[in-house]
Amino acid sequence: MSEQIANNVSESSLPSTQQPSSFADIYHSSIHNRESFWAQQAKRIYWHKQPDKILDDSNLPFAKWFVGGETNLCYNCVDRHLPDRAEQDAFIWLSSEINQELIDTFPAVADAFSDLGNSVEFYTDYTKRRLTYNDLYKEVNYFADVLQRHGVGKGDRVIIYMPMILEAAYAMLACTRIGAIHSVVFGGFAAHNLAIRMDDAEAKMLITVDAGLRGGKIINYKNLINQGVEQANHKPEHVLVVNRGILPFKAQPIDVDYATERRISCDANATVDPVWLESNEPSYLLYTSGTTGTPKGVQRDTGGHAVALTTSIDYVYNGKAGETFWTISDVGWAAGHSYTIYAPLLAGMTSVMYEGLPHRPNPGIWWRIVEANKVNILFTAPTGVRMLKKQDETWMTRYDVSSLKSFFLAGEPLDESTASWLTEHLGVPILDHYWQTESGWPILSHAPKFNHKPHKQGSPGYPMYGYDAHVINEETGEPCAAGEKGLLAIAAPLPPGCLTTVWRNDKRFISSYFNLFDGKQYSTSDYAVVDEGGYFHILGRTDDVINVAGHRIGTQEIEEAISTHPEIIECAVVGIADELKGELPIAFCVLRDHEQVKSTENRFRLEQQIVGAVVKSLGGIARPAAVYFPQALPKTRSGKILRRSIRALAENKPTGDMSTLDNPPAIDAVKQSMKDY
Ligand code: PRX
């Protein structure tokens, strides 16, 4: 670390402890005095060079924050804390998948840990690894050294396809340290998803593992990566493999063994200087589903991202340096990026990373982890909670969870019964809040730090500072009155930390998000309503995106996978309500020869093949819960499939106006197909 940086560290402010007057003042200032508000927040991070201008809004909707400022995300997450908290845990990693039984079956698993350094504690039913900021500094430097020695540098794209292990965090931080742009792909995705992302990002390197584990089931990551590489047009130069000792594999010519390379870096005590990036240079890409079959590469900047996340820990989550934050989300999702990796570290907190299910080895595992690690703030999606709700309730009270200040939920609607059940059993505030991959941090929330408004169960809260959010009439763009349903929109400029564009596709950024009225409103693609008290309520998506267990999936992606089946001429996939997972995809497929389904045997074969095609292409999360075979699909006169009507039919609800329908008998065909089942 250079002298100059070290000096600056002691002067630089960690998250401000100065109490602002009120949330109303903060909100007002963030909208009406944007530059001075964010200039103040920018002091929370270290700048190698101070910004010349706080906001450049001359080319909206492309907003540039902290223009001319130079910083480094990894430096702010790691190095900056060394003077004050080198021996504090940066991460506590827990895996209920790596248990005694697994180690007995695969002894190489334990060896792999000793090879990768750091203290590991093995218990009968889980494994724990603690990592101080000092340890993290070393590991991230080794990882960055390995990347550099393999030709990865500033601006190169690196795909990370890993389960919830610490090496995923090192990989992300190492990329941002050297200015490489990471793109983490959710482990539940299959080879096709990987190939699409490899091609769009033109990834130079892939980072993966031999295998992941889910409820004791082995997931062959390496094989999926190999298939992805085979399918992709743009081939990576190297595949860096963290071998966990779970699944033996045959190394490919482009494979690089991480443990061997790490040893070289470790023996050399390698350190890698952070690469200072201009605030608007990209830090990462995170692909998310939209209305077309091709996911969008949400592009995040560097300085705005660091400032926004650090501020959110203080103002939204009421977290403090030294406290423990646990986000139960896969690292491949926005919540994992923002609140398992970046935000807690930016704020000097300890972050818990968990590999495992909510009810394994038993439904008390979350609360046991909270107790043992004195977790202060918990964040997850409602699905996991709904899973626990089905289990023996006494698990909820066996552990001391008094360290918890609040429990935040997001990613899908939080139903009243789950919220009340949780409140009753945990006795801590259960705070629903709303945001998106695109925003990277909460758009609507309650802000417990400020006592701004009483907490209202059933609402994700009110707009957070920086978001000029309104519910507007879809047709006119006029603000809706209280109680009137409309589109949740945010007036440009979006605050720091939100997506700056779609990777290499400015046009798609505009057409996907800013195609309303005068192009000055960001569309969330969610319907909402504001009640008399000013609390917002989310009423569902305006597009064909569905939300399965908090996972966002474009129905068109599933339709494309199904359409590869030679016997299908067209299909429609819709999401239907499900008590546990929120929504489930179901498929309506029109066959070339409808007679086929008259034989039960044939119908079964077709169902299996269709479900198989989806799982193979997109992974298990997209698996259709049912496949129906109508003779036709209802369409408008312009040929657009009426998915909303099909969904209504599937849920036994009114289909609405059918006067524009091109083929009315198709409605009966859809109804009949469900009866045939
Ligand atoms: O439809 C909204 C729903 O999830 C979408 C965003 O999903 P994703 O990009 O995966 O980001 C998740 C980040 C936590 C939104 O457009 N959604 C998110 N939070 C809520 C929600 N729906 C209802 N209530 C929420 N609290």
Give the pair of three-digit tokens for residue 664.
């009315």
- Tell me, yes or no, whether 616 lies in a domain: yes
Q: Provide DSSP, 533-562.
A: TS-EEEEEESSSEEEETTEEEEHHHHHHHH
* Cβ of 544 below 6 Å from ligand 1: no
Position 204, amino acid: K
Assess whether the C-beta atom of 538 lies below 6 angstroms from ligand 1: yes
Closest atom of ligand 1 to CA, residue 288 = 9
3-class secondary structure per residue, 651-665: CCCCCCCCCCECCCH
Q: Name, in order, each residue with C-beta under 8 angstroms of 594's C-beta and a sequence gap of 6 or more.
A: 629, 631
Q: Return the pLDDT at 329.
A: 95
Q: What is the rounded (10 degree) CA torsion for 357, 362, 367, 371?
A: -110
pLDDT tens for 365-416 read: 999 999 999 999 999 999 889 889 888 889 988 999 999 999 999 998 898 8
Which of 287, 333, 436 best tests ligand 1's pocket when mutated (most atoms within 8 Å of CB)? 436
By alpha-carbon position, which residue is closest to atom 4 of ligand 1?
A: 411
Which residues span the domain enclosing 625? Answer: 548-676
In angstroms, the CA 14 to CA 27 distance is 22
Q: Give the 3-state secondary structure percentages of the chain, helix then strand then coil, rounded to 5.
A: 35, 25, 40
CB 547 within 8 A of CB 575: yes
Whether residue 241 is contained in a domain is answered as no
Decide if 482 is inside a domain: no
For residue 672, report the distance from its CA to the centre of ligand 1, in Å: 34
Domain assignment present for 292: no
Going by alpha carbons, the residue nearest to atom 22 of ligand 1 is: 412
Q: What is the mean pLDDT of residues 485-501?
A: 97
Encoding tokens for residue 350?
């300890």
Output the domain CATH number for residue 562: 3.30.300.30
Cis peptide before 493 (omega within 30 of 0): yes
Compute the distance between CA of residue 634 and CA of residue 664 in angstroms, rounded to an integer. 7
Region for residue 628 given its phi and psi (left: phi exceeds 0; alpha: psi -120 to 50; beta: otherwise): beta
Ligand 1, atom 5: closest residue by C-alpha: 436
Query: Is the model's pLDDT at 19 over the cut of 60?
Result: no
Whole-angstrom distance, CA of residue 558 vs CA of residue 544: 11
| Closest residue by CA, ligand 1 atom 6 | 436
Question: Is residue 565 one of the residues assigned to a domain?
Answer: yes
Give the pLDDT of residue 331: 96
**Segment 64-107, tens digit of pLDDT:** 999 999 999 999 999 999 999 999 999 999 999 999 999 999 99
Task: List phi, psi (to 5°) of 304.
Answer: -60, -40
DSSP assignment, residue 49? B
> Which one of 260-269, 289-298, 393-402, 470-479 scores highest in mean pLDDT?
260-269
Token pair recorded at residue 621: 């999360």
**pLDDT over 90 at 301, yes or no:** yes
DSSP 8-state secondary structure symbol assigned to residue 465: T
459 lines ligand 1 (CB under 6 A): no
Q: Which of 187-191, 292-296, 334-338 has the highest mean pLDDT?
A: 334-338
CA of 43 from ligand 1 middle (Å) equals: 30
Q: What is the pTM of this model?
A: 0.90
DSSP 4: H
Percent of the chain residues topping a pLDDT of 90: 74
Is residue 139 a part of any domain in this protein?
A: no
Residue 137 lies in a domain: no
Identify the residue whose tokens are 């109804």: 671
At 126, phi and psi to the nearest 5?
-160, 170
Can you say how many angstroms the Cα of residue 78 is from the centroid of all Cα atoms in its chain? Answer: 22
Q: Whose CA is nearest to atom 10 of ligand 1?
A: 552
Non-local CB neighbours of 115 within 8 Å, separated by 6+ positions: 259, 263
Report whether pLDDT(638) > 90.
no
Which residues is 284 bridged to in the sheet? Answer: 182, 300
Q: Which of 407, 498, 538 to mutate to test the pocket of ligand 1 (most atoms within 8 A of CB)?
A: 538
525 dihedral zone (left: phi>0; alpha: psi -120 to 50; beta) = left
Is the CB of 460 within 6 Å of ligand 1? Answer: yes
Q: Is the dihedral of CA 161, 163, 167, 173 positive or negative?
A: positive
Condensed to tens digits (0 to 9), the pLDDT of residues 565-618 reads 999 988 999 999 998 899 999 999 999 899 988 899 999 999 999 999 999 988
**Count of domains forming the chain:** 1
Specify the residue with its C-alpha closest to ligand 1, atom 14. Answer: 411
Cβ–Cβ < 8 Å for 154, 323: no
